[in-house]
Amino acid sequence: MFKTDRPLSYFKALLLGFLFQFGSASATAGQAEWTEFKQRFVLAEGRVVDVGNGGISHSEGQGVTMLLAVHYNDQKTFDRLWQWTQTSLQVRKDHLLAWRWTTKHGVNDFNNATDGDLYVAWALLRASDKWHVPAYKAAAEAILNDVKRLLVKPSKWGPVILPGSAGFEKPAGQIVNLSYWVFPALNDFSRYAPDPVWDQLGQSGITLIGESHFGKWQLPTDWVQLGNKVIPAPGFPAQFGYDAVRVPLFIMWGKKASASVLAPFQAFWGHYQKTPYVPPTVSIENDAIAPYGAASGILNIADMTCRYPALQIRPEYPINTQDYYSATLLLLADMMVEEQSR
């Protein structure tokens, strides 16, 4: 047996010192990655550029980046992002955001994308709480009131979130995107903008994910239709793809994880982690996978899902080689891990 004359308090202090240094190193690395992200994707006027999608800007990108700015305590960048978002995207008759902006045409689609609205409202609420700016909260509440008024609809599974104010209510049933159930945001809405609907949406989201088991791997598709039962949405690729990969991230972050809910994702990613590459998409019609490997943002979510609940800060996926979407997934996953380790 190992023996020592040192008191127990010595080893407690040593351990605390190690944890402090590890936490400080992680925070420093996170700030460096945030700086890298800003340099690559955020313009001086506060516009976020999706370099992997033709250089457009969209409400999702603005909202996610505002959320990251709050996390990294960067109010100066946050204000630039919010100013551009208000001026350029909050141009509808309601408080929702036009979802798409291009350098050639400005807003070229005035429909909203509800995940973008949710990210922006979430960021504003967190910013109000952190920096004590009442105007942020008022702006968030105005967006959320219109989300409830225009986008939250009843269904046999409970309230659901339409992906946009136009085009998603069909005679055969509503079309929804399960990655728009941003469970950690719904949790914060219940805290900062209380309304029973947020918890109800949290419950309906898990129910719908449980009903969306398709193909060999029993995975959800990016888009589903809510008719007599939940089916892959007609007119959309019948695949588990770039939208649905966010579903397990939000399940874990929103503290909705259970063995049964995560099992399909773990089975799929666990299988392909033993093969030459992990595909970013898989068809639920013929189980065909993409002929190329997933980017680091998706690989990181796959790793976290397969080892849940043993989450840790990822050291192996730098963002400097990633496109906008992969980089945001990496930074959002880091946010989740840091928040759950507090």
- Quickly count: other Cβ atoms within 10 Å of residue 16's Cβ: 10
Label each residue of 152-181 as H, E or C: EECCCCCCEECCCCCCCEECCEEEECHHHC
**Beta pairing, strands 57-58 & 282-283:** unpaired
How far are the Cα atoms of 92, 95, 242, 324, 336 from residue 48, in angstroms, in the given order?
20, 20, 19, 9, 22
What is the phi/psi pair of residue 300, to 5°? -65, -45
CA angle 182, 185, 233 (to 5 degrees): 20
What is the phi/psi pair of residue 240, to 5°? -85, 110
CA 283 – CA 274 distance, rounded (Å): 19
Q: Which of 337, 246, 250, 262 is closest to 297 using CA atoms?
A: 246
Q: Are 257 and 309 in contact (CB under 8 A)?
A: yes
**Catalytic residue list:** 60, 115
Q: Which of 192, 204, 203 is closest to 122 using CA atoms?
A: 192
Cβ contacts of 27 within 8 Å, gap of 6 or more:
none
- Segments in the chain forming alpha helices (H): 8-41, 59-71, 75-88, 114-131, 134-150, 183-192, 196-211, 246-253, 259-272, 296-307, 324-340
CA 161 – CA 153 distance, rounded (Å): 6
